Structure 1
């Protein structure tokens, strides 16, 4: 069987249709490839050419909201997450979530579904030169507690 090429999909809505069909037919390889494409397209829609962290964050948000939608069986927006981003900005929100004593619901859901690369902690480590040392250390610890490999682009 020829591998599915998700690059032919041009909109998030097209991706959602294919993901739903792949899920129903239990085609996890297709689902996973299209899920990543969905996140790429959503991140690209929020891209800031001067700051790649922004696009990557919106890929993370897309992943979280898609998993919430699947879990709740209806379109679900991460309202509190979006409100925090509006009030504090992406950078400060990532700092506050990482410094939190408990893991966020988003972190738990993404890790449980095998998608740690879409967590805020992963972004903090990946862009470690942009965050305070204590925040990077906390992010690394949290990822390590779950046996998640530190991103190669991280500055160690």
Structure 2
């Protein structure tokens, strides 16, 4: 197992957000983007309190991802106040629908795409949880992702791979 593989294996067990941020920062300073990405994805997956695998958990992971990127960029904690207020008013599902149907992409979408994290966009969540959304919403999400040069087949495959890995991990740990 090489150095990065050990680091990534270690990251998968961490639950302390500050340790994950330190891992990410150290990896970025060493040019180990694979390690930095693993730390970032683990960090944003731990933030939501909702049940893992649910659309709500995935949505809040997206919100936390954008807030974390803004935190890194600005050097201070940033909360998406307007988005959080909208969620309180209309809920997660309607917020995602509005993201997809809006004529222009959100700043979060653009920032996540720019950083190579299309799987964390609201539009990607619509495709991941397509049974929740009507066809026209799925189409709007697909068109937005395709316009950003995201390979939809690879994106869907990454969802299935992550789900299989999560299922295998839970099985080996005796979870259902």
Instruction: Give TM-score, length-normalised by structure 1.
Output: 0.89
Shift of 1:122: 0.2
Matched, 1:10 2:12: no
Higher RCO, 1 or 2 (CA under 8 Å, sep at least 6)? Answer: 1
Counterparts of residues 53-132 of structure 1 (less than 5 Å): 53-132=55-134
Other structure's SS at 2:78 match = coil
Counterparts of 1:14 and 1:88, CA distance in 2:
34
Shift of 1:87: 1.4
* Cα RMSD, aligned residues only: 1.8
Q: Which of the pair has more CA radius of gyration? A: 2
Counterparts of 1:15 and 1:74, CA distance in 2:
17
Other structure's SS at 1:107 match = helix
Counterparts of residues 31-46 of structure 1 (less than 5 Å): 31-43=36-48, 46=49
User: What whole-Å deviation, never above 9, does each CA across 1:89-132 have from its counterpart, x for those lacking one?
Assistant: 11110011111000000000000000000000000111111112
Partner of 2:145: 143
Shift of 1:85: 1.1
Unaligned stretches of 5+ residues in structure 2: 161-176
Unaligned stretches of 5+ residues in structure 1: none
Other structure's SS at 1:37 match = helix
Shift of 1:84: 1.2
Shift of 1:23: 2.1
Counterparts of 1:8 and 1:125, CA distance in 2:
28
